[in-house]
């Protein structure tokens, strides 16, 4: 239960930060990307603040012998930059630039502007499903095998 409360608090803090900084407004993001038009530097300041907070968190984490609320940290592995990462980043960037939303603000926007958020979240979920199928092809054959085994037993 404690982990759920911590996750809810972290999510609420993240959502509040997005709302206070104006990052829930897709026009603000598109304004940042419009460097030759009416450029809006707000996102640059938000990113700088986020990098500062994250740098402090990494320094604190490096000095800790043990996490406060869990037995061990669960950090993603670092890997090499490959074609899959570059292509995924490009797709993410194009979607972000066109919509002015990325997953965090889109989910937060479900409370403020659900219709616009769902227009983004639907294709986002579809893209996640396609990625899972495309890069884990054994998943489809395993699913079909289980399905045919179940229908054959009936």
Contact partners, residue 55, CB within 8 Å, separation at least 6: none
Q: Which two tokens stand for residue 111?
A: 């409370």
pTM check: above 0.75: no
pLDDT digits (tens, 9 = 90+) for 16-67: 999 999 999 999 989 998 999 999 999 999 999 999 999 999 899 888 888 8
Q: Which two tokens stand for residue 2?
A: 């404690």
Neighbours of 58 (CB within 10 A): 10
Please name which of 38, 35, 26 lies closest in space to residue 96, comparing C-alpha atoms.
26
Q: Which two tokens stand for residue 153?
A: 């037993």
Please name which of 54, 47, 27, 131 lies closest in space to residue 89, comparing C-alpha atoms.
131
């Amino acid at each position: 239960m404690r982990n759920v409360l911590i996750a809810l608090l972290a999510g609420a803090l993240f959502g509040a930060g997005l709302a206070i900084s104006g990052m829930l407004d897709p026009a603000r993001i598109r304004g940042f990307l419009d460097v030759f038009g009416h450029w809006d530097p707000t996102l640059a300041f938000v990113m700088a603040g986020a990098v500062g907070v994250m740098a402090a968190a990494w320094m604190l984490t490096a000095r800790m012998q043990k996490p406060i609320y869990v037995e061990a940290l669960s950090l993603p592995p670092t890997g090499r930059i490959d074609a899959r990462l570059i292509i995924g980043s490009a797709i993410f960037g194009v979607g972000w630039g066109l919509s002015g939303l990325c997953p965090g603000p889109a989910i937060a926007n479900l409370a403020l502007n659900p219709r616009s958020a769902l227009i983004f979240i639907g294709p986002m979920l579809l893209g996640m499903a396609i990625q899972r199928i495309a890069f884990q092809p054994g998943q489809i054959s395993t699913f079909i095998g289980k399905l045919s085994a179940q229908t054959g037993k009936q």
